[in-house]
Amino acid sequence: MRDQAPDAKTSSQPIVDSVVLRASATIPRPDAMSWQELDDPANDGWATEAVGDQTTAQLKKLGKLLNRSASVDAADFAQLASDDFVGEPLVPDQLELVYEDDIFRVERNKSDPPDKADEEMSPLRGPDGLAQGVRDLSRRVHGAENVRFEVKTFRVETADDLVTTRHYVTLFGQAETLMVEQQATWTVRWVAGTGGTAPQMTELRVDDFEQIQLRDPGRKLFSDCTESVLAQTPGSEEPG
């Protein structure tokens, strides 16, 4: 008689449908540290990133002072700028008109400025000078309220106790009859803070600057021309 393979239904061996494996693991986490401490680049050895965060935070403080520029003084900038701070005007003295019509006016700093050694400049000096620069910058938006100031750091270089950073800076303000937007690139040198204090600016240079003015912001600039463009196009009519 020929042997037959055992029938699965009658076999005495149990049928295993699935195997479930369970395991547990614990990831150690220092309970004494908060998430902010764990995510702090300074604690992870990322010195450049930590410095970039600190300098960006300092410039954002400067931006907040724009909305009360009429009342700011040197004391407001004592933690932002060192006593020996030297900076260029935040709005260059010499702007070149590159476009103008009855709606827009666009100005930029000159592409080929004279040698700054020979150029007659009035540098900003110390915290009081930076305060004056912010007041002058605010006047450029012609009484606008709720001025928006944005800064993005894109380069950080460190050398001993000095730090050099570069930033894209945007300022936007709107008044009743005028809207102003400024785009600039700043190079800033900082001295490291002591005793856990934030870094202070020792030098500020405005590398690129553009200002756009929009007259009569309430004016309608764009219109929907779809109907007039497609009116003569066969097949563009609504289905009957």
pLDDT of 42 > 60? The answer is: no
Assess if residue 54 is contained within a domain.
yes
Assess if residue 202 is contained within a domain.
yes
Assess if residue 137 is contained within a domain.
yes
Query: Could you list the residue range(s) of the whole structural domain that residue 72 is in?
Result: 43-215
What was the pLDDT predicted at 152?
95
Assess if residue 229 is contained within a domain.
no
CATH of residue 152's domain is 3.10.450.50
pLDDT of 160 > 70? The answer is: yes
Assess if residue 189 is contained within a domain.
yes
Please tell me the least confidently modeled range out of 34-48, 53-67, 214-228.
Answer: 34-48
What was the pLDDT predicted at 170?
96
Encode burial over 13-25: b for 16+ CB neighbours within 10 A, e otherwise: eeeeeeeeeeeee
pLDDT greater at residue 219 or residue 181:
181
pLDDT greater at residue 233 or residue 101:
101
Distance of alpha carbon 122 from alpha carbon 89, whole angstroms:
8
Assess if residue 27 is contained within a domain.
no
Q: At what angle do helices 126-139 and 47-65 cross, to 10 degrees?
A: 60
- What confidence tier does 222 reach under pLDDT thresholds 50, 70, 90? low
What was the pLDDT predicted at 165?
96
Please tell me the least confidently modeled range out of 82-91, 117-126, 149-158.
Answer: 117-126
Assess if residue 231 is contained within a domain.
no
What was the pLDDT predicted at 138?
83
Nearest alpha-carbon partner for 158 in 57, 49, 84: 49
Contact between residue 199 and residue 187 where contact means Cβ atoms under 8 Å apart: no
pLDDT of 214 > 80? The answer is: yes
Percent of the chain residues topping a pLDDT of 70: 64
Q: What are phi and psi of 37, to 5 degrees?
A: -70, -40
pTM (2 decimals)? 0.70
Assess if residue 210 is contained within a domain.
yes
Instruction: State the total domains in the chain.
Output: 1
- What confidence tier does 118 reach under pLDDT thresholds 50, 70, 90? very low
